[in-house]
């Protein structure tokens, strides 16, 4: 029983003819894109944008109509995954390196549906290392600023090289352990020169669909 698939396919049922859809990134969003691809092949009429090059490629392989960002306008629904979800629907995202495009797409959607297996539900954010997207220019200064903020950053690596996002930026994964105030930390991080954005999605998710180990679905609004 694939819990990610169960949650993702439940979310895909929210998508109706004529909708403009944001396609998330990661192994859970993967199943939502595939399900929407099947429905498009069965006649579903949607327009979509993707939150990563990988999701864009997958959507096009299924024949999902991908529209340029400057033409699609506001989105009806975005379906995306998360690394952690707290009881207030605040999220840590970015495990798949797509946080910047994901946050932009989510912010331009009327509804953000988060899909995950039950293991992503936490009482307090922070056990999952918080991804922070950093421009390469003078990145050591930005790294130092993250350390000074108490974030305990580590550069995400891709083999021997530093990982690069679709946008050509670096990711610093911050070992926060426990985040007391996600809203406050989100602002503090994004105020740092050199930080592009971070994986805290505060007050953005409208619906959370969690697939539990027994196969049941916990759908919260």
Q: Which of 22, 24, 37, 194 binds ligand DER (CB under 6 A)?
A: 24
Q: Is 55 annotated as a binding residue?
A: no
CB of 144 to ligand DER, least distance (A): 25
Nearest Cα to Cα of residue 75 among 132, 34, 14, 29: 14
Q: Which of 94, 126, 129, 153 binds ligand DER (CB under 6 A)?
A: 94
Distance CA 91, CA 186 (A): 11
CB of 70 to ligand DER, least distance (A): 24
E-assigned strand segments in the chain: 20-23, 47-50, 75-80, 84-85, 91-92, 109-117, 130-134, 153-155, 157-158, 161-162, 170-174, 195-198, 200-201, 207-211, 217-220
Could you tell me which stretch among 66-74, 93-101, 146-154, 157-165 binds ligand DER (CB under 6 A)?
A: 93-101
> Is 96 near ligand DER (CB under 6 A)?
yes
Nearest Cα to Cα of residue 136 among 162, 157, 105: 162
How many chain residues bind ligand DER (CB under 6 A)?
18
Nearest Cα to Cα of residue 156 among 211, 205, 94, 105: 94
Residues from 51 through 80 that contact ligand DER (CB under 6 A): 80
Give the Cβ contact number of residue 2 at 10 Å: 13
Six token digits for residue 44: 């579903």
Residue 184 annotated as catalytic: no
With respect to ligand DER, which residue has the nearer C-beta, 5 or 39? Answer: 5
> Is 95 near ligand DER (CB under 6 A)?
yes
Q: Which of 3, 15, 21, 28 binds ligand DER (CB under 6 A)?
A: 28
Could you tell me which stretch among 26-34, 65-73, 146-154, 164-172 binds ligand DER (CB under 6 A)?
A: 26-34
Q: Is 43 annotated as a binding residue?
A: no
> Is 81 near ligand DER (CB under 6 A)?
yes
> Is 82 near ligand DER (CB under 6 A)?
yes
CB of 3 to ligand DER, least distance (A): 11
CA 1 to chain centre: 23
Q: Is the dihedral of CA 125, 107, 58, 215 positive or negative?
A: positive
Distance CA 97, CA 137 (A): 19
Which residues partner with 109 through β-bridges? Answer: 75
Active-site residues, by number, are 102
Binding positions for ligand DER, rule: CB under 6 A: 24-29, 80-83, 93-99, 102
């Amino acid at each position: 029983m694939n819990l990610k698939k169960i949650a993702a396919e439940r979310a895909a049922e929210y998508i109706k003819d004529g909708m403009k859809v944001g396609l998330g990134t990661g192994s859970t969003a993967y199943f939502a894109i595939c399900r929407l691809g099947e429905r498009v092949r069965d006649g579903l009429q949607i327009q979509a944008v993707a939150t990563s090059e990988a999701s864009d490629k997958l959507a096009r392989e299924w024949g999902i109509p991908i529209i340029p960002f400057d033409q699609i306008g506001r989105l009806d629904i975005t379906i995306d995954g998360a690394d952690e979800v707290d009881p207030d629907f605040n999220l840590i995202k970015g495990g798949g390196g797509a946080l910047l495009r994901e946050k932009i797409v989510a912010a331009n959607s009327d509804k953000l549906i988060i899909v995950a297996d039950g293991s992503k539900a936490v009482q307090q954010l922070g056990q999952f290392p918080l991804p922070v997207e950093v421009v390469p220019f003078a990145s050591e200064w930005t790294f130092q600023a993250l350390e000074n903020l108490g974030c305990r950053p580590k550069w995400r690596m891709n083999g021997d090289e530093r990982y690069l996002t679709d946008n050509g930026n670096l990711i610093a994964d911050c070992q926060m352990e426990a985040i007391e105030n996600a809203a406050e930390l989100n602002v503090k991080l994004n105020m740092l020169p050199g930080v592009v954005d971070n994986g805290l999605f505060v007050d953005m998710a409208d619906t959370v669909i969690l697939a539990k180990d027994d196969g049941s679905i916990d759908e919260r609004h």
